[in-house]
Structures are given as C-alpha cells and as structure tokens.
C-alpha cells in the first residue's frame, strides 16, 4: 500500500483553481437550495449562502494547503490533529460570531437568521474538512496511478528495447560461428556439408522464430543445446571430450530463450582449441523443485593469452545484461578459474513457473 507521502499532494498533478472551483460551486448551489424556504432562492438566500460558504472555504483551504502538506504529509500526526481541531473550532466560532454580530451591520435592510445550532455547525465544518481532504486524496490517487501506469509502460518499452538489442547481438554472433563451421566443411569437401546446412537451418529457425518470446519451455532449450552439440561435431575431432548431462524434473519449466547458448559458444571457443592438451567441455543442467542450475566447465590454454579476459566476449556480457533485466535479484552468476579450467555457474530462482 502506498504511504501518505506517496499519495498526498503531488502539486504538479493538482490544479487548485479547477479543484476548488468544482467543489465550491457545486457546494454553493446545494447549500443555496438547502437554505431557501421554498426552493426558489431570493437575494437574501444568495447573500447568506455566499457568506456562510466563505466561513467554510477558509478553514478548508488552510487544511488543504497548509496543514496537510506541512504536517500530515510529513507524518506529524499528533500535531496535525491539534491544528485540525483548532482550525475547526476557530472557524466554527467565527461563523457564529459573524452571523450574530456582523452581517446585520453589513446588510441592515435584511434580517438574517442562523439555521444551525453550535453542534450542527461543528458537525458541518468537520464533514467539510474531512470531505475535501478525502477528495484531494482521491484526486492524487488517480494521478498517482496514472503516473505509475505510464512509468510501467515506459519501463516495459525500455526492457523490450534492451532485450531486442541483446538478441540482435546474439543471433549474428551465433550465425558467424556457425558459418565458419560450414565454411571449414566446404573447404575440405566433406560429405557432411549438406547435413550440416540442414541442421544449421533447424537451429536458426529456433533462434530467429521460436525464441522470439518472453519465455520458452526448458525442453525446447535442451533440444537446442543437443542440436548445437551435434552441429559442432561436424568440425570437432573425435578426441574432443564433450559431455552434456540434463536432469529435468519439469520439461515445461519456463526459461528465458537463448540464455544458455552464449555460454556454450564461449566454451567451444576456448575449450575446443586444437592447441589444448586433452580439451574438454562438461555441461550439467538441473531443474528440480522450481529451481534451475546450469554449470559448464572447459579447459583453456594460458598461452592463448585469454587468461585475463576469458569469457569476456559478447555472449557473456549479454548473459549478464539479460539476467539483470529478466531475473533481477533472482539469479546467481559466478565464474571460477582453477589452473587451466574455467567454470561458469548459473542458477535461477523463478517465481513464474
């Protein structure tokens, strides 16, 4: 629930002339017909209503534009209550004094009679002070909700723009690496070239079309990973050791699309280099009890000059940015170096599955 500080008196959203004009013009005509005897107001009724209304308007404005913003808005509740009571009693008494001693001297040709007892005046003034305050709160609540909705729309547009930008970086990056595989097969005139092209088209269909959504089922991401690994086998030597273990409790678990592929691409970039001694890539994917984890480990050659900037490419940066947007405060992303091995761990704690 929004606090009083967030709701009351956002001056940029408040037009005092319109707000007070609507309230007091409406009140004037209601009181005019209430004070007139036969519902046909006379001049004296207009005079009486006008001056009576002035004695109510002044304490209401004091409450609206002095007491509330300076006391209630700042959560000085006791002091506000004291000022509220003083304001109420003072102007109630001034109303009585005005109609008993002053108005007849201003208009000697008329004889004014007070229609209200002291208790009724106190009740009436209290209702006006509370009523106008509630109307002001309601006005600010409407504007506050409008601002919040506009803010949400802007934030959503910003997020979608960021995600589109990140995806536009991922897709060409993946395509560039994949085409290098096709190119290498074509140079060697291998028979697998046609099969590789067909398999690449299936991967790209998922990357371009099926992943164009906020969430995908985990089984589709696992299928993409398997397809990618099969595709990479066209260029890897049999000595390369690649293992992928998937333990999925709920295949319909929802995950942000293309979240893991950049990690795998980078592992292949550094972990399948021909200069490595017994290169390997190991991937463990687990989804149990609503949580998700993915761990990928590969070795790399320090002589390559990547010991300080390994996993600092476009893919990893996109992973970090995506996680900040899609899983704020609901993820763990960690990297670890141990001798010539590099390990990346990703954990998701999602509430929308």
The CATH number of residue 253's host domain is 3.30.565.10
pLDDT at residue number 257:
85
Asked if residue 101 has pLDDT above 90, the reply is no
What is the pLDDT confidence band of residue 286, given thresholds at 50, 70 and 90? very high
pLDDT at residue number 7:
45
Asked if residue 5 has pLDDT above 60, the reply is no
Tally of domains within the chain = 2
**Arithmetic mean of pLDDT, 183-211:** 80
Residue that terminates a domain, selected from 150, 184, 212? 150
- Residues 137 and 260 occupy one common structural domain: no
pLDDT at residue number 307:
45
For residue 255, which of 312, 320, 323, 201 has the smallest C-alpha distance? 323
Domain that holds residue 246: 238-349
- Residues 126 and 256 occupy one common structural domain: no
Residue that terminates a domain, selected from 90, 119, 150? 150
**Arithmetic mean of pLDDT, 78-86:** 89
pLDDT at residue number 13:
60
Residue that terminates a domain, selected from 150, 178, 199? 150
What is the pLDDT confidence band of residue 182, given thresholds at 50, 70 and 90? confident
- Residues 137 and 269 occupy one common structural domain: no
- Residues 342 and 246 occupy one common structural domain: yes
pLDDT at residue number 352:
55
- Residues 138 and 251 occupy one common structural domain: no
- Residues 132 and 259 occupy one common structural domain: no
Chain segment 247-283, per-residue pLDDT in tens: 999 999 998 888 888 888 888 877 665 555 677 889 9
**Arithmetic mean of pLDDT, 154-179:** 64
Q: Of 17-21, 195-199, 307-311, give the lowest mean pLDDT range.
A: 307-311
What is the pLDDT confidence band of residue 308, given thresholds at 50, 70 and 90? very low
- Residues 144 and 8 occupy one common structural domain: yes
């Amino acid at each position: 629930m929004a606090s009083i500080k967030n709701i009351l008196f956002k001056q940029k959203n408040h037009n005092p002339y319109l707000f007070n004009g609507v309230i007091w013009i409406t009140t004037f005509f209601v009181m005019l017909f209430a004070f007139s005897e036969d519902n046909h107001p006379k001049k004296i009724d207009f005079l009486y209503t006008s001056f009576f209304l002035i004695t109510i308007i002044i304490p209401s404005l004091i409450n609206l534009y002095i007491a509330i913003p300076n006391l209630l808005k700042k959560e000085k509740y006791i002091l506000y209550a004291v000022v509220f009571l003083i304001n109420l009693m003072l102007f109630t008494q001034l109303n009585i004094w005005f109609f008993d001693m002053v108005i007849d001297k201003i208009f000697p040709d008329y004889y004014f009679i007070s229609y209200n007892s002291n208790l009724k005046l106190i009740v009436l003034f209290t209702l006006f002070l509370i009523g106008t305050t509630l109307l002001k709160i309601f006005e600010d609540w409407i504007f506050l909700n409008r601002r919040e909705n506009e803010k949400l729309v802007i934030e959503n547009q910003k997020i979608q723009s960021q995600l589109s930008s990140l995806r536009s970086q991922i897709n060409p990056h993946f395509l560039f690496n994949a085409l290098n595989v096709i190119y290498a097969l074509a140079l060697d005139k291998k028979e697998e070239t046609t099969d590789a092209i067909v398999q690449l088209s299936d991967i790209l269909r998922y990357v371009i079309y099926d992943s164009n959504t906020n969430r995908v089922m985990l089984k589709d991401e696992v299928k993409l990973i398997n397809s990618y690994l099969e595709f990479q086998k066209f260029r890897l030597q049999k000595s390369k050791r690649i293992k992928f273990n998937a333990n999925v409790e709920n295949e319909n678990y929802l995950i942000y699309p293309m979240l893991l592929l950049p990690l795998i691409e980078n592992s292949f970039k550094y972990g399948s280099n021909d200069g490595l001694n017994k290169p390997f890539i190991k991937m463990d994917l687990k989804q149990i009890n609503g949580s998700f984890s993915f761990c990928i480990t590969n070795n790399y050659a320090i002589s390559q000059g990547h010991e300080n900037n390994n996993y600092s490419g476009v893919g990893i940066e996109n992973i970090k940015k995506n996680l900040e947007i899609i899983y704020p405060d609901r993820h763990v992303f960690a990297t670890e170096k141990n001798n010539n091995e590099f390990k990346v761990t990703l954990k998701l704690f999602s509430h929308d599955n």
